[in-house]
Amino acid sequence: MAARTQVERSRLLAQRWRGLFYLLVGLAILVFFTSETRPDQIATLGLNTTRSVQWVRLPDLVVPVVPAVWVLAAIVLALGMRDLVRPFRRGGWLLGIASFCFLAAFLVWAARGTSFSLIGILSASLQLATPILLGALAAILCERSAVINIAVEGMMLSAAFTSVLVANLTGNIMLGFVAAMATGALLAAWHAVLSIQFKVNQIISGTVINIFAIGMTNFLNQRLMQEYTDLNNEVTFPYLSQMFPDLGKIPIVGPLLFDQSPIVWLALILLIVIQVALFHTRWGLRTRAVGEHPRAADTLGIDVFRTRYINVILGGVVAGIAGAYFTLGSVGRFDKLMTSGRGFIAMAAMIFGNWTPIGALASSLIFGFADALQVKLQILIGQVNIPYEFLLMLPYIVTMIALAGVVGRVQMPAADGQPYEKQ
């Protein structure tokens, strides 16, 4: 009984800290983003794109900077206050709103006295969120069956490499895409054999794959692609708006949703499929049973090993799609270490989203927004007196904050990370 009260007490204390944290974030918004701003300054946020022809041109959104920052800060302060007085049970969405307010205030402040394409940044957010979302979905598939997969990064990197290689070798982009999925599946199978069969610590097994992926892609990149540069020609899927030109002309929705690679749509479809499958099908129930209580699942006749193998390999396929997005979905060529830690950020997005696909979507969008801000703000560099390196750090720091449990209580699969010993 005594132990329980101590747990309760430490949880209460943690929630107090969480409330204080949000109050600090609110204050930070006020202090930072009203500092170098004159009260009459406005920010012009564009709703049109220059790229596609539109049916109607929308007027730009004109936002007075100081009042906007005040409103955003007030929202965070109010939520923080409420959290301090009467803590919210689940804090995921709270962090989501707070991060969104912070980033929006930052955006308005950075655009003070000038104009800035809002559509551009939102569309970039979706693009940058896609690999994180896919990576998080891959990790969710594994972890719901209690296999930790920190190798998403390595699978993405390797898949990005093979997709370009195979697409150029065969001259067929679809084959490149299939190769990416196969690479992910193959590495995942390796991870599965090590962690399920040989019961190697899953984090070590993941690290093996991450290091292998770095070595393999760098090695083959230098030995093949730099030797025979034709193997690294640009190959990308056409945007949806290029396939169906009319879709791109719809205001806002056109540039936002249809000036995108089909992989973005595939990610959104996968999101729904996995969400439904996990929570509303027999397969999902079995997977979750294996992740929560493998012994009980085994007793009921579910093959724990088989379920885990299937889930880990499916996760690998999804991670492979994420890897293909880096190349076939956006830049079209392979570049050394091009995933730059997005696989780890995907892990954070998964945790942040409480091991659910929908939660992962929300958190990847926030990460994508932070990423996009950082990319786009390099244009406004004179406006923002922050060295761009600090903007580049932003996603990584957000990841650490998310991991530090500002989210509040997360409910990971109970058996996560434990190898199953059949009796």
Partner 1 sequence: MARSPEISQARVSMWQRVANAMALPVLSLLSALVLSAVFILGSDLKVLTAFSQFFSDPARALLTAGKALADAYGALFIGVFGDPAKIFKEVGEFFATGDTQGLAIAFYPFSENFVTATPYIFAGLAVAFGFRCGLFNIGAEGQIYVGAAAAAFVGYSVEGLPWIIHAPLTFLAGALAGAFWAGIAGFLKATRGAHEVINTMMLNYVAFNLIHYLLNGPMKRGGAAGTIPISRNIVESAYLPTFFPEPIRFHAGFIVALLVAVLVWWLLFKTTLGFEIRTVGANLHAARCAGINISRNFILAMAISGALAAMAGAGEVMGVNHNLAEGFSPGYGFDSIALAMLGGGHPLGVVLAALLFGTLRNGATKMQSLAAIPIDLVSIVQAFVIMFVAAPIIIRRLYRLKTEVGGQMILMRGWGG
Buried b (16+ CB within 10 A) or exposed e, 204-224: ebbebbbebbbebbeebbeee
| 318 binds partner 1 per the rule CB under 8 A | no
| 113 binds partner 1 per the rule CB under 8 A | no
Strands 115-117, 42-46: parallel, antiparallel or unpaired by DSSP? parallel
| 403 binds partner 1 per the rule CB under 8 A | yes
Q: How far apart are alpha carbons 312 and 327 in whole angstroms?
A: 23
| 389 binds partner 1 per the rule CB under 8 A | yes
- Count of residues engaged in binding partner 1, rule: CB under 8 A: 46
Residue reference for tokens 């030797």: 227
Reported residue count of the chain is: 423
The residue within the footprint of partner 1, chosen from 121, 349, 351, 372 (CB under 8 A), is 351
- C-beta of 12 vs 404, nearer to partner 1: 404
Query: Least distance to partner 1 from the beta carbon of 348, Å?
Result: 7
- C-beta of 177 vs 352, nearer to partner 1: 352
- C-beta of 46 vs 343, nearer to partner 1: 343
| 208 binds partner 1 per the rule CB under 8 A | yes
Q: How far apart are alpha carbons 128 and 322 in whole angstroms?
A: 11
Which of the ranges 29-37, 66-74, 236-244, 344-352 carries the binding residues for partner 1, by CB under 8 A?
344-352
The CA-atom distances, in angstroms, between 336 and each of 163, 215, 333 are 14, 10, 10
Q: How far apart are alpha carbons 147 and 142 in whole angstroms?
A: 5
Query: Least distance to partner 1 from the beta carbon of 81, Å?
Result: 22
Which of the ranges 98-106, 174-182, 360-368, 394-402 carries the binding residues for partner 1, by CB under 8 A?
394-402
The residue within the footprint of partner 1, chosen from 321, 348, 361, 366 (CB under 8 A), is 348
The CA-atom distances, in angstroms, between 150 and each of 125, 210, 315, 316 are 24, 8, 11, 11
- C-beta of 224 vs 247, nearer to partner 1: 224
- C-beta of 174 vs 414, nearer to partner 1: 414
Query: Least distance to partner 1 from the beta carbon of 53, Å?
Result: 39
Six token digits for residue 239 = 């945007």
Query: Least distance to partner 1 from the beta carbon of 372, Å?
Result: 17
Residue reference for tokens 């997977």: 287
| 171 binds partner 1 per the rule CB under 8 A | no
The residue within the footprint of partner 1, chosen from 3, 198, 282, 385 (CB under 8 A), is 198
Quick note: the x/- pattern for partner 1 over 210-249, rule CB under 8 A, is -xx-xxx-xxx-xxx-------------------------
Binding site for partner 1 (CB under 8 A): 148, 150, 194, 198, 200-205, 207-209, 211-212, 214-216, 218-220, 222-224, 340-341, 344, 347-348, 351, 387, 389-390, 392-393, 396-397, 399-400, 403-405, 412, 416-418
